[in-house]
Structure 1
Amino acid sequence: HALLMMLAVPGAIAGGVMFQYFFGYNFSVAVWVGYIACFGMATETGIIMLVYLRDAIHTRGGLEKIESLEELKKAVIEGAVHRLRPKLLTEGTAIIGLAPMLWAKGTGAEIMRPMAAPVMGGLLMSDEVIDIFLPVLFYHVEKYRWEKIHSVKPEKKC
């Protein structure tokens, strides 16, 4: 699960680079600080999503008690949906808080604008990665583990 947790970081990099390019900021210490903050927030969000996904499986008794892959899929969907609204509210609040920094004109704005751009872009992009790809990849990892526990041979595709 550690690799799944880090899945949000490439999404954060992509979003940060896009916003940095869009706003025309060169790499600087402020931009790097923004990337570090972005990576931390993206990793934290990925960890929380994984906690909810694992909790959904544990509330059904763990992989040993889950009878079918359909039940496993329902547990993963339940865990992902259960986490969606609080996650969107948290990230929406962060984005709304960062938006004024991008257009600030006062003292210190020349430092804050380049710092806010990668954070905002990274949050927007990593949010999609976490919401869409993380539950799907988690399902496939748990499906493999479920098949190993229940001694089911994976279907071969031609």
Structure 2
Amino acid sequence: AMGLSIFLVYVIMASQFESLIQPFIIMFAVPLAFVGSVLGLIVTHTSLSIVVFLGLIMLVGIVVNNAIVLVDYTNLLRARGIAPREAILTACSVRLRPILMTTATTVLGLLPMAIGLGDGAEIRTPMAIAVIFGLISSTILTLIVVPTIYHLLDRKVKMTSLTS
């Protein structure tokens, strides 16, 4: 189910962006989130379960959304004629607040679930832990890695098209 959901997200983005490279850049944020989730599960001594995998599927959607916001705004600036490097830096500074707000509201919303309040908390807590740690790590790393990958692949595609 996890692989299928990631594939479907990629296909939808490829059709929306009319590119195979830009969805790859966006999907590069997903492993960054998984690293944070695994570290969170290790730190809290939480074992893997079906509920954790449901949380990871939810995490993919949120992380991809944050990366889409960044890449889409960079594309908009590029369409306006702004140089690639300047467009990336501007997109990061302009879209920083919406990305941080999305992460903060989701993390704060899941915090009571992660703490384990209420009946059935032992079932919901692992999902919240996976999502919270994954979101925190991916938000920080997405703001660094996604623009870097965008810039590197943009240069690579330009160099390839210039030589052919």
TM-score of the two chains, using structure 2 as the length reference: 0.79
Cα deviation, residue 10, structure 1: 0.7
Cα deviation, residue 9, structure 1: 0.9
Matched with 2:87 is: 75
Matched with 1:87 is: 99
Larger helix percent = 2
Distance 2:42 2:102 in 1: 26
1:31-56 CA-partner distances (Å, limit 9, x unpaired): 11111111221122112211111111
Matched with 1:63 is: none
Cα deviation, residue 6, structure 1: 0.7
1:100-124 CA-partner distances (Å, limit 9, x unpaired): 1111232121111011011001101
Which one of the candidate residues 13, 16, 28 is aligned to 2:49? Answer: 28
| Alpha-carbon RMSD | 1.7
Distance 1:106 1:13 in 2: 27
Matched with 2:4 is: none
Cα deviation, residue 7, structure 1: 0.7
Matched with 1:10 is: 31
- Residue 27 of structure 1: SS of its match in structure 2? coil
Matched with 2:78 is: 57
1:77-99 CA-partner distances (Å, limit 9, x unpaired): 11221111111111111111111
Distance 1:14 1:144 in 2: 27
Q: Which amino acid aligns with 2:39?
A: M
- Higher mean alpha-carbon deviation, 114-123 vs 30-39, is at 30-39
Which one of the candidate residues 62, 66, 71 is aligned to 1:45? Answer: 66
Q: Which amino acid aligns with 1:131?
A: L
Cα deviation, residue 148, structure 1: 5.4
Higher relative contact order (CA 8 A, sep 6+): 1
What stretches of structure 1 of length at least 5 have no aligned partner?
61-65, 154-158
1:127 counterpart = 2:139: yes
Count of matched residue pairs: 142
Q: Which amino acid aligns with 1:96?
A: L
Q: Which amino acid aligns with 1:22?
A: V
Q: Which amino acid aligns with 1:122?
A: G
Matched with 2:7 is: none
Q: Which amino acid aligns with 1:84?
A: L
- Residue 137 of structure 2: SS of its match in structure 1? helix
Q: Which amino acid aligns with 2:78?
A: I
1:102 counterpart = 2:102: no
Distance 1:55 1:118 in 2: 33
